Amino acid sequence: MDKTVYLGADHAGFLMKESLKDHLSLKGHVVEDLGAEKEVQDDDYPEFAAKVAKAVLGHPGSFGVLSCGNAEGICIAANKFKGIRAGIGYSIDSARTMRNDDDANIICIPGRLKIEDDPFAVVETFIETPFSNLERHKRRIAEIE
């Protein structure tokens, strides 16, 4: 089933976002690019984290993919929104467990740092992995809320 994916990145994650946009579109996903529209060195990642977080919250079942230099800042900014569970996708295993265990709805990918696995595979794993719905995982998510 094709999924709706919202993308956002600052200047440091711009090229990663553009590559992921092309990849996800070719995989048949509905992709909405919420910026940046071009590389602007003095843009700020919180703006793009907010746009993607609001879009994901407004469209249940959708996903977000964010990128900045190290993925940390944009991840912190996204997690400020109630109902967002964002994590850094540094490997296929991290992507799988953040979906399976934590029902994460946004994955953050570094734009300037190397990660353990291919970023395309990491994002695709994130999108394709369902939440386990196990009671212990639902309990932990409720504790966060």
User: pLDDT (tens digit, 9 = 90+) per residue, 97-107?
Assistant: 999 999 999 99
pLDDT score of 50: 98
What's the whole-model pTM score? 0.97
Q: Please give the full DSSP string across 51-74, using - where no structure is assigned.
A: HHHHHHHHSTT-EEEEEESSSHHH
pLDDT digits (tens, 9 = 90+) for 116-140: 999 999 999 999 999 999 999 999 9
d(CA 128, CA 122): 10
Q: Where are the domains of the chain?
A: 4-144
> Which CATH number describes the domain made up of 4-144?
3.40.1400.10
Percent of the chain with pLDDT over 90: 97
pLDDT value for 10: 98
Q: Which of 29, 31, 30, 42 is nearest to 8 (CA)?
A: 31
Residue that is written with structure tokens 């509905």 in the block: 30
Q: Which of 17, 103, 16 is nearest to 52 (CA)?
A: 17
- The pLDDT score that the predictor gives to residue 9 is 98
The percent of residues in the chain predicted with pLDDT above 70, rounded, is: 99
Given a contact cutoff of 8 angstroms between Cβ atoms, the answer to whether 32 and 7 are in contact is yes
Q: What pLDDT sits at residue 1?
A: 52
With H, G, I as helix, E, B as strand and everything else as coil, classify residue 111. coil
